[in-house]
Amino acid sequence: MRLGGLGLLVLGLWAFALHRHLLRRLLAFNVVGTGIFLLLMSLVGASAMPAAHGLVITGLVVALVGTALGALLVRRLEALESRHGAAFRTYGHPR
């Protein structure tokens, strides 16, 4: 489980650095979060397993809400871009 979590973490970081599209970056960020959750569960001993499950489930709920908020923000940026033209397409980098 540790190797899988580490693999997902590295894959998500690689995808986050590679892609410029905001929705793909949001998905890559979710892959990083999943890798971190797997690493956390693999590091927990048998005696602390119920507490770890509670923390990971809480983290998943927070990640779901963060993903929904991120998707709404990406949608809003795309709407502004389509309404105002290519001025917003640089994502903070002046032309």
Higher local confidence (pLDDT), 26 or 88: 26
pLDDT digit string (tens) for 12-57?
A: 999 999 999 999 999 999 999 999 999 999 999 888 899 999 999 9
Which band of pLDDT confidence, cut at 50, 70 and 90, is reported for residue 93? low
pLDDT digit string (tens) for 61-76?
A: 999 999 999 999 999 9
Entry pTM: 0.80
Do you know the residue count of the chain?
Answer: 95
Domain boundaries defined on the chain: 2-88
- Sequence-separated contacts (24+) of 13-19 with Cβ below 8 Å: none
